[in-house]
A and B are shown apart, each in its own frame.
Chain A
Amino acid sequence: MTKNKKDTNTDFEVRSLDTIGKNQDNTSLSTWHNLRYLVFGIAFGIVLIKSEVVSWFRIQEMFRLQSFHMFGVIGSAVAVGAVSVFLIKKFKIKSIQGEEIILPQKTFNKGQIYGGLIFGFGWAMTGACPGPLFAQLGYGAMATSVTILMAIAGTWVYGLLREKLPA
């Protein structure tokens, strides 16, 4: 029996494809709790700009192998992230709410290749991945609002076509 994908609980299904949404804690709906993410976001935004990761020129240099900078940023970020995740697993560190920390396992699908290539095209064109888009706008590149709206439109069209795309 083939299940009609449209009738299945896509919320749950999609969460297995996406990284987020798995980790829920009951306090997450209070604004007070969420302010911490605002603070982390501010810190992240400042780093993105001061390291020029949000610069279109830096991205072009990366893809033309003219500068080590972006490779250094991403590489050292992954190194620190990987050591952190290793330590969290090894010592079974809990979140400050006392919960076990959940690290979602991803499953392979062709979207990671097709979607990855498509995003790569967009990354080299706009000089920005989603995080830097918001940082650019805050820094005063007002025309980036067009790029952000189009990125939202792209996400929406993906949602519309999702069942028809190879995965």
Chain B
Amino acid sequence: MTIIELIKQPWPWYVAGPIIGLMVPALLIFGNKTFGISSSLRHVCAACLPAKIPFFQYDWKKEIWNLFFVFGIFLGGIITAFYLKTDTDVVVDPKLVEVLSGYGIADFSGLVPADLFSWSSLSTPRGFILMVIGGFLVGFGTRYAGGCTSGHAIMGLSNLQLPSLIATISFMAGGFIMANLILPFILSL
């Protein structure tokens, strides 16, 4: 197996996690920046539609590094799609496959289920709720919490910040409640 073939395989957690963790010192040492992603959404608001809202009155150009970082993530996605894609499907836990099959989800080949996240499903109730309302909650919630998985769970916990631990526990609690208690209703719509 050549190195490139090895890279094309799905990466185990003990490879991916440490590389993600290294983003923290890399950003600190190469530019004195703290790892965080959700703020980029705020910079987009400040740049495109500040609308005299105090929260968006700041010099977003000073934070432009964050937009470069996010654009890099987007490019990383493109590069992976063109050069590092595997032919194999995402391996999904059989119990989850069984549950999701019960909701008419049959396509397990993509990163996101095509039965839920596609242009055509946007006009279905569950597709609309998951994409439109779900996306809204991600943007609203991360800013209200002052950070997302990167800013709080990784950067904040790495710096032993109690508020970040509280935020991370809340993220997880919200996710458990949604995935186990609410999502089954949404999927059955």
Contacts and interface: CB of A to CB of B under 8 A. Distances in A.
Interface of A: 6, 10-11, 14, 17-25, 28-29, 33-64, 66-82, 84-85, 87-88, 93, 95-97, 99, 101-109, 111-131, 133-144, 146-160, 162-163, 165
A87 B21 CA distance: 14
Contacts of A138: 73-81
A143 to B, nearest CB: 5
A36 B167 CA distance: 29
Given A60-B179, A81-B155, A130-B40, A154 B34 contact: no
A95 B17 contact: no
Identify which of A19, A150, A163 gathers the most chain B CB atoms within 10 Å of its CB: A19
A162 B73 contact: no
Nearest to B130: A125
B44 interface: yes
Interface in B10-36: 10-36
A56 B36 contact: no
B24 A143 contact: no
- Report whether over half of chain B's contact residues are helix, strand or loop; otherwise say mixed: helix
Interface of B: 7, 10-42, 44-45, 49, 51, 53-59, 61-66, 68-81, 84, 90, 92-93, 95-96, 100, 108, 110-113, 116-119, 121-122, 129-164, 166-180, 182-183, 186
A56 B34 CA distance: 27
Contact of B11 (A44, A51, A54): A51
A108 B72 contact: no
- By Cβ-Cβ distance, the 9 closest A-B pairs, closest first, are A120-B174, A41-B72, A45-B76, A138-B77, A116-B170, A115-B144, A80-B21, A154-B139, A119-B141
